[in-house]
Structure 1
Amino acid sequence: MGQYKGLYVEARIHADLDDLWIRTQDPGQHQRWDLRFSEIDYLARVEGEPQRFRYATRVLPGLTIAGTGVSAGEKERPDGTRTSALRFSSPHPLSLLAEGSGYWRYVPDGEGVRFLTGYDYRPRWGVFGAVADRCVFRPLMGWATAWSFDRLRLWLEQGISPERARLNWLVELFVRSLTLMATGAGLVAESVLPAFGPLAVLMAFCWPLLLTVAFFTALCAPPLPCTPAARRCLRRPPSRARAPRLLRTLEMPR
């Protein structure tokens, strides 16, 4: 089995393996924390065949891109780990993603679970699609996956619901943006310092320092513990990542 190439994300989650399995394998719970999907529904299962599912992503109000996939899981493995694999495709002409495949691994390590994913896909739209994918879409997908994994971690470790975690993120993003805007306004206000008379010298010394501190705090301060952040996840495999054998058993959905 060769090295698996594509996107990789790993999160260390201090939670029970069964709880993590349910939050990721149940479609209703999965769609709550995964930013990449708006809807995930299992289709009627045929005996002896992999589970088929339908997924949808709301790109803009009134515009939803849907696709189908097949998945299979190994809940009991001799080494104590668990694995699930899937193949997916979207016939929607506006979907940059044509088809792809991926896997999840659940690796207990004594302090929790290493929850990791590897996946890749084929973009459509020819050369334009390849360039758009490399420059914009693929980095965005990697970020969205890592952000979602950390939102899942907060749900399991701290009991912060995915909806609350998203609100925390939006509020923190708003505050940081407001601080950066205030910093820019402060640079403009610096021109009126002479109007403060004797205090002008003191303020002229302190003002740039305060603006600098505010700017770098808003830009570089770590996210709050209750806010999901992609930076908390590992984005490169610690060793050569390999797709599970289970993935070979799945055929691309048609």
Structure 2
Amino acid sequence: MGLYIEARIRADLDELWSASQEPSRHQRWDLRFTEIEHLPRAEGEPQHFRYATRVLPFLTVAGTGVSAGETQRPDGSRTSALRFASPHPLSLLAEGSGYWRYVPDGDGVRFLTGYDYRPRWGRLGAVADRLLFRPLMGWATAWSFDRLRLWLERGITPERALFNWLTEIAVRVLVAGVAVTGLGLESFLRLFGPFAAPMAYLSPLLLLVALSLALFLPPRAATPAARRCLRTPPTRARAPRLLRTLENPR
């Protein structure tokens, strides 16, 4: 089962193309990559690239890929196709392919991707991919798309967006922890003075409300969220013909 993610971004098409195609800008917002580097190429050849992802502070998984783009399509849209592979033995992702489409839509652009890959490690890898890695990749892609949207629409840099997300997660965890354990409840009730005793009867309800807010309150507008992206294609999605012209990277 391939992955599909779509975001509508109110931005100029050229600006969106630049932010997603230039390695130095792409690696800033895409959570899946730590480094992206274009490799030298001859005139007329597809663009080869190297990518790396820091899985742990002491472990970086790298791979290579090849991509090509179409910037002048009859309907005004643009397309980028790629194939990628990682020889690293600790990389669950062995090889794969995908595409990006940029479809003008009123005052914005429908920015969408579809991709799939082959996991390694045999049956164990297939199970780990289905239960953990593939859902995580889908979430990371959608979260990154919304992070890009905030950058282009509102000027919130990817670094600031990450800080906003981490801060919000920390606050939610703190509130949930207080709600579950009841820490500080006695000090909180003292604020109500003579009404502390009646408020004590409401404390379970207050804790339940606090826990519900921590778990289910929508993310702030300045915080990237995967839930804002479409995860199922509205119509049957097909890979562009451009993808067929690319050979698997060596």
TM-score (norm 2): 0.95
Matches within 5 A, 1:29-178: 29-178=25-174
Which residue of structure 2 aligns with residue 229 of structure 1?
Answer: 225
Which residue of structure 2 aligns with residue 212 of structure 1?
Answer: 208
Which residue of structure 1 aligns with residue 198 of structure 2?
Answer: 202
Which residue of structure 2 aligns with residue 7 of structure 1?
Answer: 3
CA distance in 2 between counterparts of 1:85 and 1:189 reads 56
CA distance in 2 between counterparts of 1:159 and 1:128 reads 43
Which residue of structure 2 aligns with residue 25 of structure 1?
Answer: 21
CA distance in 2 between counterparts of 1:189 and 1:162 reads 37
CA distance in 1 between counterparts of 2:96 and 2:147 reads 24
Query: Cα offset for 1:253?
Result: 0.5
Which residue of structure 2 aligns with residue 249 of structure 1?
Answer: 245
CA distance in 2 between counterparts of 1:247 and 1:180 reads 46
Q: Which runs of 5+ in 1 are unaligned?
A: none
Contact 2:49 2:64 in 1 (8 A): yes
CA distance in 1 between counterparts of 2:109 and 2:185 reads 51
Other structure's SS at 1:156 match: helix
Computed over aligned residues only, the root mean square deviation of the Cα atoms, in angstroms, reads 1.7
Other structure's SS at 2:205 match: helix
CA distance in 2 between counterparts of 1:188 and 1:35 reads 36
Residue type at the aligned position of 1:172: E
Residue type at the aligned position of 2:101: R
Which residue of structure 2 aligns with residue 183 of structure 1?
Answer: 179
Other structure's SS at 1:137 match: helix
Other structure's SS at 2:182 match: helix
TM-score (norm 1): 0.93
Deviation >4 Å, runs of 4+: 187-190, 198-201
Cα deviation 1:81-101 (Å, max 9, x = unaligned): 000000000000000000000
CA distance in 2 between counterparts of 1:44 and 1:67 reads 16
Give the length in aligned residue pairs: 246
Cα deviation 1:131-164 (Å, max 9, x = unaligned): 0000000000000000000000000000000000
Contact 2:178 2:184 in 1 (8 A): no
Cα deviation 1:113-137 (Å, max 9, x = unaligned): 0000000000000000000000000
